[in-house]
Amino acid sequence: MKLPLYLDYNATTPLDPRVLDAMLPYLTDKFGNAASRNHVYGWEAEEAVERARRQVASVIGADTKEIVFTSGATESDNVAIKGVVEMYGRREGTDRKDHIITQATEHKAVIDTCTYLQQRGWDVTFLPVDRGGSINLEELSQAMTDRTLLVTIMHGNNEIGTLQPIGAIGRLCKQRGILFHTDATQSFGKVPIDVEEMGIDLLSLSAHKIYGPKGIGCLYARRRNPRVRLAIQMHGGGHERNMRSGTLNVPGIVGLGKAAELCQQTMEAESGRLTELRDRLSESIMGQLEDVTLNGHPVDRLPNTVNLSFAYVEGESLMMEMNDVAVSSGSACTSASLEPSFVLRALGVSDDLAHGSIRFSLGRFTTEEEVDYATGRVVSAVRRLREMSPLYEMAKEGVDLSKVDWHAGAG
């Protein structure tokens, strides 16, 4: 077992050696531009891109012409949401289409995009979630109006792992004639996705979450029933059927395609293996420590993700105490902030517990030995920190901390 351990796979994944092997020729000998249609170098590159398109499309039951390569899921989210709003949105007249529905626990790539549009006059509804991180379908239905243009709800949450009922959301959107986008960055390759069965019109994903390279992702955009058209966000050259201009990152695209293929081949077995390891980790920790809370849905969640709150312990201190185990106190995109996780706040988790939360995310190269080692490090670190905590000592003596007047006697 090699230290430090890596249990932060939701932040990013290591490049699978088989993905690197597939990419290498396109970083050296096969360096052609996929848009060069008049010689063999360009033909080789174009063929590789189309093969990758087939590999990605196959995982979600899409047509190859519905796959648009981007720089990653953040760009895909922006292209999907802004592209729909600019193409179909109307803010005047009786047939206005100026309303977007999302949820409070979306990734910042969606929340910030929706907030940007809200500040420019678009009507955005941020649906609340329950203690498990799930939206209420009845609340979603009630939020829909004749003005609703787009629903954007992520599939698997990056912090707590909760899986939303995407199929039911898709059917609801179809019944109301509303476009449906999902950020599937964390779920793609881990759990089955079928864009037809689930009624998904737009879907975002990123290669570096599935053992592919960073800086490459794609957007699925439906071509029929209905055909989804998007306003251009990146002008120049007309690449990707004029939906995303820019010279294609052929090595990255090849890596994404190979990574998608490997996920499809191993998804069922890997999902089962990770679920066992995930439950082994959480059950062992919670069996040895008191005052530990599981955040997120206990059943409907990603097979690799565990988010635990440790009462009377500060998360940053806990991570420093077990610095040979790489974990996270929230999303990698917001980990520089000292604010408690907005996702946990949306669940109703108190600030104290949110500050004492750790996300463990397992992956393809995680072993049982590593899980057991991490469990031991967590248990010993929590016990040590609690021994130094006056709050923990007071709680054990029966003091109700919620009723303590911490300002009493202050001069």
Helix (H, G, I), strand (E, B), or coil: what is residue 41?
helix
Question: Sign of the C-alpha dihedral, residues 22, 27, 30, 36?
Answer: positive
Residue with tokens 């709050």: 391
CA distance linking residue 226 with residue 198, whole number of Å:
14
CB 143 within 8 A of CB 101: yes
Q: Is the peptide bond preceding residue 226 cis, with omega within 30 degrees of 0?
A: yes
Residue 23 in tokens:
């990419």
Nearest-angstrom CA–CA distance, 124 and 213: 34
Active site residue 333: yes
Residue with tokens 């294609």: 248
Q: Tell which phi-psi region holds residue 296, choosing left (phi > 0), alpha (psi between -120 and 50) or beta.
A: left
Catalytic residue among 114, 173, 218, 333: 333
Instruction: Provide CB contacts within 8 A for 199, sequence distance 6+.
Output: 167, 169, 170, 171, 173, 174, 180
Catalogue the active-site residues.
333
